[in-house]
Amino acid sequence: MANITKCPYGFQLRIVHKLLPKPLWATFDTREAAEQYGRQLEGLLAQGIVPAALLERETPKQEIWTVQRCIVEYLRHNSVPLSDQKLLGTIMPSIAKLSTASLNYAWAEAWVRDMKRIDHLAPGTIRKRQGALARCFDWMTRKHAEIMAQNPLRLLKRGFASYTEADSEALAAHGKKVRVDEERDRRLADDEEAKIVAYLQDRADERLLFELALHTAMRMRECYTLHSAQVNLGKRTIFLERTKNGSSRQVPLPTPMVALLSEYVSKHREAIASRGDRVLPFWDGNLDVQALDVATRNLSIRFARIFRLAGVPGLHFHDLRHEATCRLYERTTLSDVLIAKITGHKDIRMLRRYASLRGSDLAAHLW
């Protein structure tokens, strides 16, 4: 008797028959394919014919999943950071139908090579995609070792995302050049902060969002989704429960920020209450990923215009996080570990480019 069940990763067929040594399970991409296979097998069984491949399976072979099923199960059973969810959503269409049986070191190398030569991605983007999928496969090797015994993405050598000479030659044949990581290093000049503050003098909402990013190193989304319950002015902290990398953190507030935030909350108490205790009015509270992306995109466009009209061209909102992190190195004696706790960098190596600031500060004290 055949039974077909809809699953997140396809259609699962189950056939039980007295001629079969055990129930048969198989997964298909479409219901039609499952029904067709089921009819064919049941027709044979009705004639007393059992395919030799089914009789010879004294012990079950290793079950084979598609990569799509791996990702779906991983997202279902884990609290995955939003950034990884988006990366996996971007990756999935190109590798969804691959079977776990085909995932080996050769595949991993070929996948990275295609991201360079076909997709022409920057090394940083390649590392992010590899990291998101590798974390999914890590969970598979722990939870479903019978399906995936080894994570091939962890076998890649250091520097795998950098373009090689062979990559350069392959791209040159199509008139393309190798991609390199481009880290934005935009800092605010001495008068630029004052120009922006002056322009926002009568725009309290945008002023608070600007100051939050500049004085706390919080990401844009962490700023505009802030609820009043997260703010503790007495302890001078903001509590971020679930951030981009999936972890929570306490963000300390410098004295000027405490005064500004306190004044804003006092003047806009009724407005804040009317919008469900959301401190700022740039977001309607919808937690859908697409809604959040739209809010982020709209604010990025708005602030690009604000900076331009304030006489500060070329500044992006995310540059404020870089500026804030630089100031933590320049104006405090906090260690890298403590600064990472404030900024939310999960890998402390991400802060290594700021080390030169601390080195320059130390050099100023030498003879």
Tell me the CATH number at 305: 1.10.443.10
- Give the pLDDT confidence score for residue 242 in this predicted structure: 66
CA distances from 256 to 152, 248, 267 (A): 50, 24, 17
Please check whether residues 113 and 226 belong to one and the same domain.
no
Place of tokens 């909402």: 205
pLDDT at 176 (0 to 100): 93
* pLDDT tens, residue by residue, 189-229: 889 999 999 999 999 999 999 999 999 999 999 999 999 99
182 inside domain: no
User: Which pLDDT score is estimated for 83?
Assistant: 84
Q: Cβ contacts of residue 161 below 8 Å, gap of 6+?
A: 112, 123, 124, 126, 127, 130
* Same structural domain, 98 and 38: no
102 & 209 share domain? no
Give the pLDDT of residue 246. Answer: 61
Q: Which positions of the chain have pLDDT values less than 50?
A: 58-60
Domain count, the chain: 3
Q: Are residues 204 and 318 in the same domain?
A: yes
Cα–Cα distance, 207 to 203 (Å, whole number)? 6
- Do 218 and 333 fall within a single domain? yes
Q: Where a domain ends, among 118, 139, 172?
A: 172
Can you say how many angstroms the Cα of residue 284 is from the centroid of all Cα atoms in its chain?
A: 22
What's the sign of the alpha-carbon dihedral 293, 298, 303, 304? positive
Please give the pLDDT value at position 60: 47
* Same domain for 232 and 155: no
- Residues 125 and 274 reside in one and the same domain: no
Q: What is the largest CA-CA distance in the chain?
A: 96
**227 has which bridge partners?**
278
- pLDDT of 62: 55
pLDDT at 59: 46
Same domain, 80 and 218: no
Q: Is residue 42 part of a domain?
A: yes
pLDDT at 139: 95
Domain residues for the domain of 15 are 2-55
Establish if 76 belongs to a structural domain.
yes
Residue 51, pLDDT score = 74
